[in-house]
Amino acid sequence: MHETYTFLEGSTPLVISVPHDGRDIPAKIRERMTPAGLDMPDTDWHVARLYDFAGGLGASLLIARNSRYVVDLNRSSSDDALYPGQAVTGLTPVKTFAGDEIYLAGETVSDDERQTRVERFWQPYHRKLELTLRDLRAKFSYALLWDAHSIASELPLLFDGQLPVLNLGSYDERSCAPHISNPVFRLAEFSNFDAVLNGRFKGGYITRHYGDPENNVHALQLEIAQRSYMDEASREFQVAKADKLRDLLGKMLQAFQEGAARHYE
């Protein structure tokens, strides 16, 4: 097992990336963090568990082990803004989504430390993802990437009101061909969950960087409001709720694979 990620190899062109469910924080970083930071409220709680059925669909899974507060794998290594003009957190966050300080007074993340974290934690995950997509494309002639996320239903600093349950992003059709993404979204749109395509969350760095339809790599991001499968106050995974959501997720993943397979027949 790699120190920064877990990888489960599948048998189809699909890989599922889970970059924000990790909770490991090295001791030298932990000792400089506030109680709010150590609480890790912005974790994509239980997303790896939510998708644990996907191996049965033949998908590969790449799951980060470290907290996004160590380094955010869904940001570029140069920390370019994903949504200019909107409140966001960076490559090495210093505040939570609620605006609380992650580090104790007088502590910061220097440029040298940021680069060290990129080399130790960011680069291995992205090397593995890049190589996996390359190998899948070589084997099947195309590759599919599903970037799996979740978030609190209400975060006033990031968006107004309550977030829809299913927030599918194709980077405005730049990361995934619409004839492949649209059937996936239709399942969400006509489900028992409220859904939006390319709304507040269009896809982060992973979706935007690796999605390349012209070169036969199609990437989608799904940001799920956490109320749909867990108790947001206690962070308890709620099996009955999650099972209903997982049934839909399985159908969406199958539609993703079937749409691509028809296209590349």
- 228: domain range? 5-263
Closest CA to 217 of 151, 130, 156, 157: 130
Backbone angles phi, psi at 108, to 5 degrees: -155, 180
Instruction: Report the helix count and the strand count for the chain, using DSSP H and E.
Output: 8, 9
pLDDT at 94: 96
**pLDDT averaged per 10 residues, the chain (length 265):** 91 98 98 98 98 97 98 90 62 95 96 97 98 98 98 93 97 97 97 96 96 98 98 98 98 98 91
pLDDT at 86: 55
Tokens of 22: 């990790």
DSSP state at residue 99 = S
pLDDT per position as a tens digit, 176-218:
999 999 999 999 999 999 999 999 999 999 999 999 999 999 9
Residue 250 burial class via C-beta count within 10 angstroms: exposed 0-12, middle 13-18, buried 19 and up? middle
Tokens of 16: 């599922």
Tokens of 232: 């947001």
Predicted TM-score (pTM) of the model is 0.96
Question: What CATH number did the domain enclosing 163 receive?
Answer: 3.40.630.40
Domain count, the chain: 1
pLDDT at 29: 98
Q: For residues 197 and 168, is the Cβ–Cβ distance under 8 A? A: yes
